[in-house]
Chains A and B, each alone.
Chain A
Amino acid sequence: MKEGAVLEMRGICKFFPGVRALENVDFTLREGEIHALMGENGAGKSTLIKVLTGVYPKDGGDVTLSGQPVHIKSPQDAQNKGIATVYQEITLCPNLTVAENMYIGRTKGPLTNWGKINRDAGKLLDELGIPVSATEQLGNCSIAIQQMVAIARAVDMDCKVLILDEPTSSLDEQEVQKLFTLMRDLKAKGVGIIFVTHFLEQVYEVCDRITVLRDGKLVGEYIIEDLPRVQLVSKMLGKDFDDMADIKSGSEAEKIDYNGTPVYQAINLTGTTGIKPFDFEIHKGEVNGFTGLLGSGRSESVRAIFGADRVVAGTVKINGEEVKIRKPLDAMKHGISYLPEDRKLDGIVGDLSVRDNIILALQVMKGFFKPFSKAEAEKLADEYIKLLSIKTASQDTPIKSLSGGNQQKVILARWLLANPQYLILDEPTRGIDVGTKVEIQKLVLKLAAEGKSVTFISSEIDEMIRTCSRLVVMRDGKVVGELKGDDLNQNKIMATIAGGES
């Protein structure tokens, strides 16, 4: 046993039908350290964590907790042994209250003192500075709050090992800092924290050690000072990596004809989801972005454009012609595609095969009475699986068993197949690995070069700067500014978001 190790995993193996998800992976977590688990999509990070937390039974290898060999039978068992987890996707129950969610499965005996639980929960939430009432129903809270409640739940369980699987992907900068403070507190108390994230900056901000996985195998364990960022990326990708900063060649933005008829134009578009009426237009070959803090209305705006939420007023013109977009199908028929923000809830159809998920939108546009033959569907799916290099065991694999990034690629394939003239991508890079992020950004620019219009939304501002030639800035449901050209820099954007209406 290594010095001070609270958790040791040796030679862990896990097989799925047709896939070797983990092969002989070792992992060591020491007391009072924050340990980053890094790797591309499908590298095996999530699988390793699910093995550790008893979601999947392991097919080989040993787990040792504080020197004792253990066999973890179920997530409940893992909890009892002091392994607490906050997953990438929120796995709490939206129909229960915050306090109920924090204590669910942890009450002993048949009697429960809900009054006490509500008070305890309230106290803990206050300590952690989470702005929510213990009796609020969880489903009514924002994703960020839900995520923090999940962390509060884990924290309260007196854990020796805390696993944070992509906890920051839906938090804004302030909330991330709050979380980091909390993580450092816990670290000081001797808790070992496994931190899984795709944000490199965050890794270098809080972590002590990094373990890198690739294709289900261990690449190595490193002390953070010994592994510069570029090397980390190259270890994750398994190849030397060109700097990804300059993927946009500056000339393209100048080719856009801003005086021509916009591909899409909205005047006074009014939705019912709490955003103020807004005007918007996008031109051929343009990549624009909506930015703003979480809850600023950027997603609601694009949902209104697509007809995903009810639109009550406003004029919409496609290529100068006035049209009515009342529901998603109208938008699709006018050549608009929309990749939604919440992949799990609005994007994938989990149990359906990769093939069905790819053809879905085009099939719906083609009509109820004109199904694709199996051969046609297979050909289309095959083409796009190759085009976007989607990693899947076969076309018939249910999409839910793919890794997050590959799921996202399938949804992207679905909308590319629909051949839109205007493509809306809401957070297409959220929760996926660096390699795929760059791939998607390059794809967006390629589509624009081919004459398509794209709206690209991302929480990472530098991603937006790299890809967009115009940014619409939103605050509190209102468009507060529009930036392009030289104004497209971090400082100016921050200032506009923050409130300088200059």
Chain B
Amino acid sequence: MTSTASTEKPRLSAKEVFGKIFHNQLFIPLVALVLLVVFNLATDPGFFKVSLEPNSSGNLVLSGNLITMIDYASELVILAIGMTLVTSASGGQDISVGATIAIAGSTILRIVKTQSPDISGGQFAGMIIVSFLLCVFVSALFGAFNGALVAFFKIQPMVATLILFTAGRSIAAWINNNDNISINDKRFGYFGNFIPGIPVPTPVFITILCLIVIALVLKFTNLRLYSQSVGINASSSRLNGINPKMIKLLTFVILGICVAVCGFIKVSRTSSITYSVIANNIEMDAILAVALGGNSLGGGKFNLTASVIGAYVIQFLTTTLYKFKEIDSSSISAYKAVVVILLIIISSPFVRKLFDDFKNKREAAKAEALAGKENT
């Protein structure tokens, strides 16, 4: 009945354009981001001032709230990529990422701590590459462990990842015999802070690199189609030749690689590790980023850009709340929760449906009025 209508491109009225924008998945996270920016500007016009200042090691670097926020959001953004894929294919979330970041960081330090700070640049680069590759391997392995529990043993993702959530930090401590490690080589800190001569924080570059890689992967493989298909209907995916188990496993391995990158940034930021604190509660923020992006936590269709923006929203929110001196740092989580719950409710299907019903009713009323006019 609508086949004829669809062939010609209908001209959109302003209202329809608004409806389209409202229904776009990016709408809510973007609006939240803009509101946070506006709010900060209103309370402190200088909030986003970015200046070039020398840092503690004497380099000229960009500093200011904006830079801090984007810098500190890096780990969350990278995790949100993997978490979105896992959510899509398995219909559940990995709650062990904080603990596995500890493992990843500990693995890197295990190698780096054995080297003296006097090695040449080439040797240092080689060592970093080796330790990072090992870290990727270990994290991917732990990811595969989670993935195997979910895909082959059909354990619910949250329960399956509860194992590493509980054990991960102990494993991390065990890797380095629970030593307090502090790396003296200044060059190790480059990856989590600044490279001399470059005023932009290194994690920002790493994040951009990760985003480019995942964009290329999604463009040149069928990862998107397969994981969505498996997440929506595994049985019919299988009858179309997809192996749902392998796809689920694959998404967990990809998340494992994201965890490796995060672990690397985290330990480089401080050149040390505290097993029980590193990346604490980051799994909840990563899951929130996916939800804020308007993605269904029940799996299926996903929008990676929305998740990434969601991750930035969360970091912006955290930084904004820290700015208020009158808010006690221990109660920040409560304030954060209030804002998050508002955002989630606005983007919920229920509210969207209310909006749609309202629109449909008006359309119907208009049609009726028009019919009435024709009759008279």
On A, residues with C-beta under 8 Å from B are 13, 15, 18-20, 42, 57, 59-60, 215-216, 306, 308, 327-329, 332, 338, 340, 345-352, 356, 360-361, 363-365, 367-371, 389, 391-394, 414
Query: Chain B: which residue is nearest A345 at the CB level?
Result: B235
Q: Is the CB of A18 within 8 A of B5?
A: yes
Decide: A19 near B1, CB < 8 A? Known: A57-B357, A329-B241, A363-B225: yes
Q: Is the CB of A371 within 8 A of B3?
A: no
A332 to B243, CA, bound (A): 13
- Min CB–CB distance B111 → chain A (angstroms): 33
Q: Is the CB of B229 within 8 A of A349?
A: yes
A361 to B238, CA, bound (A): 10
**Residue B266 lies at the interface, judged by CB distance under 8 Å to chain A:** no
Further contacts, 15 of them, CB under 8 A, given A18-B2, A18-B6, A306-B239: A60-B364, A308-B238, A328-B241, A348-B236, A349-B229, A350-B233, A351-B301, A352-B228, A352-B232, A356-B225, A371-B225, A391-B3, A393-B2, A393-B6, A414-B240
Q: When A and B form their complex, which 7 residue pairs have the shortest distance between CB atoms, in order from nearest?
A: A59-B364, A329-B241, A364-B241, A60-B364, A215-B1, A349-B233, A371-B222
Residues of chain A contacted by B300 (CB below 8 angstroms): 351
**Residue B176 lies at the interface, judged by CB distance under 8 Å to chain A:** no
Residues of chain A contacted by B360 (CB below 8 angstroms): 15, 57, 59
Query: Chain B: which residue is nearest A216 at the CB level?
Result: B1
Which of B1, B5, B221, B239 touches A328 (beta carbons < 8 Å)?
Answer: B239
**Residue B186 lies at the interface, judged by CB distance under 8 Å to chain A:** no
Residues of chain B contacted by A345 (CB below 8 angstroms): 233, 235-236
Q: Is the CB of A308 within 8 A of B2?
A: no
**Residue B179 lies at the interface, judged by CB distance under 8 Å to chain A:** no
A452 to B348, CA, bound (A): 48
Q: Is the CB of B363 within 8 A of A360?
A: no
Return 25 A-B CB contacts under 8 Å, by A number: A13-B367, A18-B6, A19-B2, A20-B1, A60-B364, A327-B243, A328-B238, A328-B241, A338-B239, A345-B233, A345-B235, A346-B236, A352-B225, A352-B228, A352-B229, A356-B229, A360-B229, A361-B240, A367-B222, A368-B226, A369-B221, A370-B222, A371-B222, A391-B2, A391-B3
Which of B2, B233, B368 touches A348 (beta carbons < 8 Å)?
Answer: B233
**Residue B350 lies at the interface, judged by CB distance under 8 Å to chain A:** no
Query: Chain A: which residue is nearest B3 at the CB level?
Result: A391
A259 to B77, CA, bound (A): 64
- Min CB–CB distance A12 → chain B (angstroms): 11
Residues of chain B contacted by A42 (CB below 8 angstroms): 1
Residues of chain B contacted by A363 (CB below 8 angstroms): 222, 225
Residues of chain A contacted by B233 (CB below 8 angstroms): 345, 348-350
Which of A60, A367, A392 touches B6 (beta carbons < 8 Å)?
Answer: A392
Residues of chain B contacted by A348 (CB below 8 angstroms): 233, 236
Residues of chain A contacted by B232 (CB below 8 angstroms): 349-352
Q: Is the CB of A13 within 8 A of B364?
A: yes
A364 to B229, CA, bound (A): 11
A327 to B1, CA, bound (A): 39
- Min CB–CB distance B158 → chain A (angstroms): 19
Residues of chain B contacted by A370 (CB below 8 angstroms): 222
- Min CB–CB distance A461 → chain B (angstroms): 26
Q: Which B1-19 residues have a C-beta within 8 angstroms of A?
A: 1-3, 5-6
Residues of chain A contacted by B367 (CB below 8 angstroms): 13, 60
Q: Is the CB of B242 within 8 A of A364?
A: yes
- Min CB–CB distance A425 → chain B (angstroms): 13
Query: Chain B: which residue is nearest A414 at the CB level?
Result: B240
Residues of chain A contacted by B368 (CB below 8 angstroms): 13, 60
Residues of chain B contacted by A216 (CB below 8 angstroms): 1
Decide: A15 near B363, CB < 8 A? Known: A361-B241, A392-B6: yes
- Min CB–CB distance A376 → chain B (angstroms): 13
Query: Chain B: which residue is nearest A23 at the CB level?
Result: B367
**Residue B237 lies at the interface, judged by CB distance under 8 Å to chain A:** yes
Query: Chain B: which residue is nearest A377 at the CB level?
Result: B225
Residues of chain B contacted by A19 (CB below 8 angstroms): 1-2
Q: Is the CB of B241 within 8 A of A332?
A: yes
Query: Chain A: which residue is nearest B236 at the CB level?
Result: A346
Q: Is the CB of B241 within 8 A of A349?
A: no
- Min CB–CB distance A413 → chain B (angstroms): 13
A306 to B232, CA, bound (A): 22
CB-defined interface of B201-239 with A at 8 Å, one 1/0 digit per residue?
000000000000000000111110110110011011111
**Residue B373 lies at the interface, judged by CB distance under 8 Å to chain A:** no
A367 to B222, CA, bound (A): 8
Q: Is the CB of B2 within 8 A of A346?
A: no
- Min CB–CB distance B38 → chain A (angstroms): 31
Q: Is the CB of B1 within 8 A of A391?
A: yes
Decide: A349 near B1, CB < 8 A? Known: A59-B363, A328-B241: no
**Residue B361 lies at the interface, judged by CB distance under 8 Å to chain A:** yes
Query: Chain A: which residue is nearest B10 at the CB level?
Result: A18
A306 to B238, CA, bound (A): 12
Residues of chain A contacted by B242 (CB below 8 angstroms): 364
Which of B3, B221, B225, B226 touches A389 (beta carbons < 8 Å)?
Answer: B3
Residues of chain A contacted by B222 (CB below 8 angstroms): 363-364, 367-371
A52 to B221, CA, bound (A): 45
Query: Chain A: which residue is nearest B300 at the CB level?
Result: A351
A391 to B6, CA, bound (A): 10
- Min CB–CB distance A327 → chain B (angstroms): 8
Residues of chain A contacted by B1 (CB below 8 angstroms): 19-20, 42, 215-216, 391
Query: Chain A: which residue is nearest B353 at the CB level?
Result: A57
Which of B2, B223, B229, B241 touches A365 (beta carbons < 8 Å)?
Answer: B241
Q: Is the CB of A349 within 8 A of B221?
A: no
Residues of chain A contacted by B363 (CB below 8 angstroms): 15, 59
Q: Is the CB of A346 within 8 A of B6?
A: no
